Amino acid sequence: MSQKTLKDFLTSLFKVEKGAVDIDFSNLSIKVGNFSKRVNIVNNIINIDPQKLTPQQKKVLFESFKNPPPKTQFILDKSEKVVKKLENSLEKNKSVIEYFKDNIPDNYLEMLKIAALVKQEFDNKGNGRILKQELSERFGIVANTVCNLYSAGYFENFLIPYFNEKKTDSNYSNSDFSSDFVSFMNDFPLAVFISTQTSLEETAKMILDRIRKNNLSGIRKFKVHGIGEKNVKKIQETILKLEKEKKIEFTNINRTKRTIIAEVVLVEINNPCHKTH
């Protein structure tokens, strides 16, 4: 979608002159929900109620969202409840989001904001799975990692302390911060997340691949996470299989009927030159 398309669309809704709508795409959020007014702009947020648009306006609106411009946020939901949930989530998680806001790429900040909402929805047995799927469709598989790491507490319990330590070095720049963050999101060494789509064989492969990578950097421990009864069973079977076949030790296995977190400890590292922690 081009900026011109969105400007023209909003201009037609407001019935103003063509040049009267000015949009700052570096700081724009568009929310779709059931509002009392057809279109309402507050604090640079455009609220649109699709139920009060004509069929042609709806078509233009949703066609526009297929390829949104960079640095924009779209919540395509017809309920005001979702919009309020997002606002509530952003407020509750303000400290974490503020910490990363000026140090990570805009697309990752966008993922982080929705990841906070995804966690809130999962915690409250809401539509977290759908939001996570929509985020993944827009940004790719890395969005799953952002959501998983946020839900599992790694942002607060590992990433913030890690970057606090890094920032004690006066030579550590915002560019270094951004680069390290992106690297973590694309290959996080301390956790493996198993989804319902992951087969038993793929689960074992993911764990073994993580061991191989961590071996090279001397990292001796990481955790395997799973949510849902199927994942709990799958990970338990994988643990038994790998402990029997490989020199791998699973410790601190915390599981309930629907969740499991198992720590992997490398008992033996074949290359004695590898560093250890």
For residue 99, give every residue at least 6 positions away whose Cβ sits within 8 Å of its Cβ, in sequence order, or none: 160, 163
Residues of the chain within CATH 3.30.110.20 domain(s) are: 189-277
Q: What is d(CA 114, CA 276) in angstroms, rounded to the nearest whole number?
A: 36
CATH of domain 189-277: 3.30.110.20
Q: Are 234 and 277 in contact (CB under 8 A)?
A: no
Instruction: Give the helix ranges, DSSP H, for 157-224.
Output: 160-166, 174-186, 200-217
Kindly give, in sequence order, each residue whose CB lies less than 8 Å from that of residue 185, ignoring residues fewer than 6 positions away.
108, 142, 145, 146, 149
pLDDT at 257: 80
Q: Which residues of 128-144 are buried (b: 16+ CB within 10 A; e: fewer)?
A: beebbebbbeebeebbb
| Cβ atoms within 10 Å, residue 223 | 18
Q: How far is CA 23 from the centre of its chain?
A: 27
Q: Give the per-residue pLDDT at 270.
A: 44
> Of 158, 159, 175, which is closest to residue 103 (Cα–Cα)?
175
Tens digits of per-residue pLDDT, 191-217? 999 998 899 999 999 999 999 999 888
Residue 277 above 50 pLDDT?
Answer: no
Kindly give the residue spans of alpha helices, DSSP state H, lying in 124-199.
Answer: 128-139, 142-151, 154, 160-166, 174-186
**What is the rounded distance in angstroms from the CA atom of residue 191 to the CA atom of residue 67?**
32
pLDDT digit string (tens) for 1-58? 343 455 566 666 655 555 555 555 444 555 554 433 445 555 455 566 666 667 777 6
Is the predicted pLDDT of residue 190 greater than 90, yes or no?
A: yes
Give 103-112 pLDDT, tens digit per residue.
999 889 989 9
Q: How far apart are CA 67 and CA 15, in angstroms?
A: 25
Backbone angles phi, psi at 185, to 5 degrees: -70, -30
Contact 188, 158 (CB under 8 A): no
pLDDT of 250 higher than 80: yes
* Average model confidence (pLDDT) across the chain: 78
Element (DSSP H or E) covering residue 62 = helix 55-64
Token pair 């409250």: residue? 124
pLDDT on residue 147 = 95
Whole-number Cα distances in Å, 122 to 46, 91, 126, 151:
27, 17, 6, 9
Distance CA 271, CA 176 (A): 30
Could you give phi then psi for residue 54, rounded to 5 degrees? -70, 160
Tokens of 226: 């799973």
Q: Residue 48 in 3-state DSSP? A: strand
Statement: the pTM of the whole predicted model exceeds 0.75 = no
pLDDT at residue 72 above 80?
no
